Chain A
Amino acid sequence: MVTLNHYLILSGLLFCVGTAGVFLRRNLITVLLSVEIMLNAVNITFVAAGRYHGSVDGQIITFFVMTVAAAEAAVGLALVIALFRHRETLSPDAFTSLKW
């Protein structure tokens, strides 16, 4: 029997994987992918909770999140390309010229 807790654990694990990716990877594209993993982990929580409460709200929110994620990915990848053209690198540590 798959209960709500199983979904939440899965979601939590996925979120941790995504978070670890954001913190640890040295490639901006991978960081963006990790953010997508985190978003989808949250989506799972929403859908599971919606199903558990017998409402469609969770699914609706998920669609919103997916839409926003798609837009974010488009903008984010465009920025990554632009950054790469400037610096020939995708390491997040290379872009510190606005720091104090």
Chain B
Amino acid sequence: MVALIPLLPFLGFLINASVGRRVSKSVSGAVACLLMIGAFGASVTAVLAAHNAPGRFIQETVFRWISSGDLQIPLAFRVDPLSSLMILVVTGIGSLIHIYSTAYMHEETDAEFARYFSYLNLFAAFMLVLVLGSSFPVMFVGWEGVGLCSYLLIGFWFRKQSAADAGKKAFVVNRIGDFGFILGMFLIFVTFHTLDFQEVAWRVSTWAPEIAVGPATIATLLLFLGATGKSAQIPLYVWLPDAMEGPTPVSALIHAATMVTAGVYMIGRNAVLFQHAPITLAVVAGIGIATALMAGTIGLVQNDIKRVLAYSTVSQLGYMFLAMGVGAYTAGIFHLYTHAFFKALLFLGSGAVIHALAGEQDLRNMGGLRKALPITYWTFLIGALAIAGIPPLAGFFSKDEILFRTFAHGNRIMWIVGLLTSFLTATYMFRLVFLAFHGDRRHPEHPAHDAHPAPDAHPAPDAHLHDAPPAMAIVLIVLAIGSIVAGFVGWPHAIGGANRIERFLEPSFEAHQMAPGEFQVIEGRASRQPRVELAAGVEPAVPGSQAVDERREIELMLLSVGIAVAGILVAMAFWLRNRAAATRVAYRAAPIYTLLLNKYYVDELYDATVVQPIKKLSTLLLWRGIDAALIDGAVNGVGGAVRGTSAALRRLQTGSIRAYAASLFLGVVVILGWYLMR
């Protein structure tokens, strides 16, 4: 039954990929949406079943996939609290985005429409394999599959050069991360002789945490390299902003709510392993907070509505990695879950704006949309409040949890940078809101347009300025409600809540659940080695400390809310009240502004240090050197040698019979003479 969850969207992919082009848009859209909703239903059933099962999880082996000596990998799916949450998010948000897409992609042709939905379904299927897989290789199948779908969907409008390039960039950058993931996987197999998540956690839980660099540290660092690729962290984040070339619902589903969180999920899935590699955890936290700050500052000055959201996503993912790095796995996954709601909402809201403005994405050409697009405006505002961390919206609980855990972890610098990022988040989000929805309507300048007026061809942009159509509006409203209430499951103890999500998720991050006894029941295999008691003095790997100073927590909460409000007020002062001031500041601090606008020149840096050297190497060494000189040289050389020898030897063919006869005669004489003289 668990296998049904990824199979349903996969079926949708098969249907839409095979016959989609022959049926109308409503049929292919309905097939895709219904199968996603079916998958959501199956997920709910599976989650309930897992919740009531002994040990709070169910595992289903579909078939024995790889069987080679030591290596035994069943294609098995596992529903435990962590994957429960993930499949609900993937199928739930996924269904909403499918529904939204039926309206958003309506202007495509039937064939393109079906192609879009087949990719979207395939993505959902792979994402579900990724989160349900019970071992590294199964996860890796999903991991690569979502990468493929991401590539296909970023480059969905592949006739546009920039979209095709962005897809390629995403694919290549992800390849670097996947390389690390594979190596990490190999190292784990060599070290633990298994690739099953539970067994790895079980075996590593008998170790002492690795103070020096050892196999666990190296393996987790390699896995984390994979996570930086998939989840767009320094140094591999560069593909995500470019990925905005894809259709907006794709940005919402893949590049905000689900796929990019795969890295965070992967660390959560291997929490016990990472817990035994403190060096890796420090790296994870450092990279996370650095990415959060850097992306936040870039987001402050971007002018493309989707790019602002993209950098915001990178920044929020940085928060999640910060949580993972300080051992607050629950907080990280909690933020992943709330972020899925409000970031999907924000992206879909920006999609509604782009849809209404017929493709306009530049914030400088928007403004004053509040009255024309009321539903979009209000839902977008809720999303912005949620991401800024205003209570009691979803973002507040999860972000505050992360900041509090970071504080409790004892790293004050990271905590302060986290607060600063929180301020930046509120500022850039409300800059976006004010620039897009408030003020006066600004129009793009079209000098050519005025010179040749064509009344019927190009009506004024505002002529068809309409709010989101019903399918989009409903989704926006549902997600807005989600952004308000999703956080309540994590209502902290300090202000009278139960923090149910923490209790719910906790078992997934602990090793003792993976006792071999339970394994026997599930797998029905022969006995395993008895449980080894933890060595004395070794802390049991239970992430997250329970020592909570509740008063301190409330103080910190007030502080972070104050900072978020301050961020909004700053945005209000600059972009609502006095835009001239914002321009003046940008003019005064021109070097910084240019640096941020050009995204710290990281793309240029990568181009200069990686892309161009590889191009040079390929041109000079591989092409001119190896291919043209060596290989072509060898092939042409053989031909040339034969030709040269022939040119010499053909002189022997004089055409004179006497000369032939003489050589024959001489030859006989020489051979006979040699025999006689011997």
* A-to-B contact residues, CB < 8 Å: 19, 22-23, 31, 92-93, 95-100
| Contact status of A100 and B661, CB under 8 A, knowing A92-B656, A93-B656 | no
CB pair A92 B658 closer than 8 Å: yes
Ordered by A's residue number, 26 sampled pairs between the chains whose C-beta atoms are within 8 Å are: A19-B665, A22-B658, A22-B661, A23-B658, A23-B661, A23-B662, A31-B657, A92-B656, A92-B657, A92-B658, A93-B656, A93-B657, A95-B655, A95-B657, A96-B654, A96-B655, A96-B656, A97-B655, A98-B653, A98-B655, A99-B653, A99-B654, A99-B655, A100-B650, A100-B651, A100-B653
> Which of B610-660 touch A at CB < 8 Å?
650-651, 653-658
Of the listed residues B654, B661, B665, the one surrounded by the most CB atoms of chain A closer than 10 A to its CB is: B661
Q: In the assembled complex, which residues on chain B have CB atoms less than 8 Å from the CB atom of A31?
A: 657
Q: In the assembled complex, which residues on chain A have CB atoms less than 8 Å from the CB atom of B661?
A: 22-23
Give the Cβ gap from B366 to chain A, nearest Cβ, in Å. Answer: 82
Q: How far is the CA of A91 from the CA of B658 in the complex (A)?
A: 11
* B-to-A contact residues, CB < 8 Å: 650-651, 653-658, 661-662, 665
Q: How far is the CA of A13 from the CA of B651 in the complex (A)?
A: 34
Q: How far is the CA of A100 from the CA of B655 in the complex (A)?
A: 8
Of the listed residues A23, A97, A100, the one surrounded by the most CB atoms of chain B closer than 10 A to its CB is: A100
8 additional A-B residue pairs with CB within 8 Å, beyond A92-B657, A98-B655: A23-B658, A92-B656, A92-B658, A93-B656, A95-B657, A97-B655, A98-B653, A100-B651
Q: In the assembled complex, which residues on chain A have CB atoms less than 8 Å from the CB atom of B655?
A: 95-99
Q: How far is the CA of A100 from the CA of B654 in the complex (A)?
A: 7
Smallest CB-CB separation from A94: which chain B residue?
B655
Q: How far is the CA of A95 from the CA of B657 in the complex (A)?
A: 9
Q: How far is the CA of A99 from the CA of B654 in the complex (A)?
A: 6
Q: How far is the CA of A98 from the CA of B658 in the complex (A)?
A: 15
Q: How far is the CA of A95 from the CA of B656 in the complex (A)?
A: 8
Q: How far is the CA of A31 from the CA of B657 in the complex (A)?
A: 10
Smallest CB-CB separation from B658: which chain A residue?
A23
Q: How far is the CA of A19 from the CA of B658 in the complex (A)?
A: 11
Smallest CB-CB separation from A28: which chain B residue?
B657
Q: How far is the CA of A92 from the CA of B661 in the complex (A)?
A: 12
Of the listed residues B656, B657, B661, B662, the one surrounded by the most CB atoms of chain A closer than 10 A to its CB is: B657
Q: In the assembled complex, which residues on chain B have CB atoms less than 8 Å from the CB atom of A93?
A: 656-657
Q: In the assembled complex, which residues on chain A have CB atoms less than 8 Å from the CB atom of B662?
A: 23
Q: In the assembled complex, which residues on chain A have CB atoms less than 8 Å from the CB atom of B658?
A: 22-23, 92
Give the Cβ gap from B659 to chain A, nearest Cβ, in Å. Answer: 10
Smallest CB-CB separation from B664: which chain A residue?
A22
Give the Cβ gap from A29 to chain B, nearest Cβ, in Å. Answer: 13
Q: How far is the CA of A22 from the CA of B660 in the complex (A)?
A: 11
Smallest CB-CB separation from B649: which chain A residue?
A100
Q: In the assembled complex, which residues on chain B have CB atoms less than 8 Å from the CB atom of A97?
A: 655
Q: In the assembled complex, which residues on chain B have CB atoms less than 8 Å from the CB atom of A19?
A: 665
Q: In the assembled complex, which residues on chain A have CB atoms less than 8 Å from the CB atom of B657?
A: 31, 92-93, 95
Smallest CB-CB separation from A97: which chain B residue?
B655
Q: How far is the CA of A79 from the CA of B204 in the complex (A)?
A: 92
Q: In the assembled complex, which residues on chain B have CB atoms less than 8 Å from the CB atom of A22?
A: 658, 661
Q: How far is the CA of A95 from the CA of B655 in the complex (A)?
A: 7
Q: How far is the CA of A92 from the CA of B657 in the complex (A)?
A: 6
Q: In the assembled complex, which residues on chain B have CB atoms less than 8 Å from the CB atom of A99?
A: 653-655
Give the Cβ gap from B402 to chain A, nearest Cβ, in Å. Answer: 87
A-B pairs with the 4 shortest C-beta distances? Answer: A96-B655, A99-B655, A100-B650, A92-B657
Give the Cβ gap from B561 to chain A, nearest Cβ, in Å. Answer: 97
Give the Cβ gap from B660 to chain A, nearest Cβ, in Å. Answer: 10
Q: How far is the CA of A96 from the CA of B656 in the complex (A)?
A: 7
Smallest CB-CB separation from B650: which chain A residue?
A100
Give the Cβ gap from B664 to chain A, nearest Cβ, in Å. Answer: 10
Q: In the assembled complex, which residues on chain A have CB atoms less than 8 Å from the CB atom of B650?
A: 100
Q: How far is the CA of A23 from the CA of B658 in the complex (A)?
A: 6
Smallest CB-CB separation from A24: which chain B residue?
B658
Q: How far is the CA of A74 from the CA of B655 in the complex (A)?
A: 23
Give the Cβ gap from B667 to chain A, nearest Cβ, in Å. Answer: 14
Give the Cβ gap from B502 to chain A, nearest Cβ, in Å. Answer: 93
Q: How far is the CA of A97 from the CA of B658 in the complex (A)?
A: 16
Smallest CB-CB separation from A93: which chain B residue?
B656
Smallest CB-CB separation from A35: which chain B residue?
B661
Q: How far is the CA of A19 from the CA of B668 in the complex (A)?
A: 13
Q: How far is the CA of A23 from the CA of B657 in the complex (A)?
A: 9
Q: How far is the CA of A37 from the CA of B655 in the complex (A)?
A: 24
Give the Cβ gap from B124 to chain A, nearest Cβ, in Å. Answer: 73
Q: How far is the CA of A22 from the CA of B662 in the complex (A)?
A: 10
Q: How far is the CA of A98 from the CA of B665 in the complex (A)?
A: 22
Q: How far is the CA of A98 from the CA of B656 in the complex (A)?
A: 11
Smallest CB-CB separation from B660: which chain A residue?
A92
Smallest CB-CB separation from B647: which chain A residue?
A100
Give the Cβ gap from B337 to chain A, nearest Cβ, in Å. Answer: 85
Q: In the assembled complex, which residues on chain B have CB atoms less than 8 Å from the CB atom of A92?
A: 656-658
Q: How far is the CA of A96 from the CA of B294 in the complex (A)?
A: 85
Smallest CB-CB separation from B662: which chain A residue?
A23
Q: How far is the CA of A19 from the CA of B656 in the complex (A)?
A: 16
Give the Cβ gap from A42 to chain B, nearest Cβ, in Å. Answer: 12
Give the Cβ gap from B647 to chain A, nearest Cβ, in Å. Answer: 9
Give the Cβ gap from A65 to chain B, nearest Cβ, in Å. Answer: 16
Q: How far is the CA of A31 from the CA of B655 in the complex (A)?
A: 16
Give the Cβ gap from A86 to chain B, nearest Cβ, in Å. Answer: 15
Of the listed residues B650, B656, B658, the one surrounded by the most CB atoms of chain A closer than 10 A to its CB is: B658
Q: In the assembled complex, which residues on chain A have CB atoms less than 8 Å from the CB atom of B651?
A: 100
Q: How far is the CA of A31 from the CA of B660 in the complex (A)?
A: 13
Q: How far is the CA of A100 from the CA of B653 in the complex (A)?
A: 7
Q: How far is the CA of A95 from the CA of B661 in the complex (A)?
A: 15
Give the Cβ gap from B459 to chain A, nearest Cβ, in Å. Answer: 80
Q: How far is the CA of A96 from the CA of B665 in the complex (A)?
A: 20
Q: How far is the CA of A22 from the CA of B657 in the complex (A)?
A: 9
Smallest CB-CB separation from A26: which chain B residue?
B658
Give the Cβ gap from A48 to chain B, nearest Cβ, in Å. Answer: 18
Q: In the assembled complex, which residues on chain B have CB atoms less than 8 Å from the CB atom of A95?
A: 655, 657
Give the Cβ gap from A93 to chain B, nearest Cβ, in Å. Answer: 6
Smallest CB-CB separation from B665: which chain A residue?
A19
Give the Cβ gap from A78 to chain B, nearest Cβ, in Å. Answer: 17
